[in-house]
Amino acid sequence: MLKVEHIGIAVKDLAVSIPLFEALLQTPCYKTEEVAGEKVNTAFFRQGETKIELVQGLESGSVISKYIDKRGEGMHHIAFEVADIHAEMQRLAAAGFTLLNAEPKEGADNKLVCFLHPKDTHGVLIELCMEKR
């Protein structure tokens, strides 16, 4: 793993959360994006080498909306940048980690992503991400 790529925070409403995080981080939101496959809208902030991603569910059945209904708004995942997502998925599966998807899928910010089940990582949802080539 190369670095922490971003920290994902589940929010109910980007219109409320973006100004709050702009004030908190003293930096503007540099990008918003809809990820239709995940039924979410995202907003990104840079803090040094790391990004903060706000994630809002687009409908009540989305994973993020269900997460917020169960746990409330807050930290959702930590994403690690990897050089080769396929090799990293194979390595982690061989080491006994449960992958939540068998193949990388399209994520926000021009990334391919894969999630690890939090039961294997002390309750923390881990995302692997790699820039699409």
In sequence order, the 6+-apart residues with CB closer than 8 A to the CB of 123 are none
Mind listing the pLDDT tens digit for each residue in 70-123? 999 999 999 999 999 999 999 999 999 999 999 999 999 999 999 999 999 999
Q: Which two tokens stand for residue 64?
A: 């993020």
Domains of the chain: 3-131 (3.10.180.10)
Place of tokens 């994973």: 63
Q: Is residue 62 packed enough to be buried (19+ CB in 10 Å), middle (13-18) or exposed (0-12)?
A: middle
- Average pLDDT over every residue of 5-27: 98
Average pLDDT, the chain: 96
User: Is there a contact between 74 and 9 (Cβ–Cβ < 8 Å)?
Assistant: yes
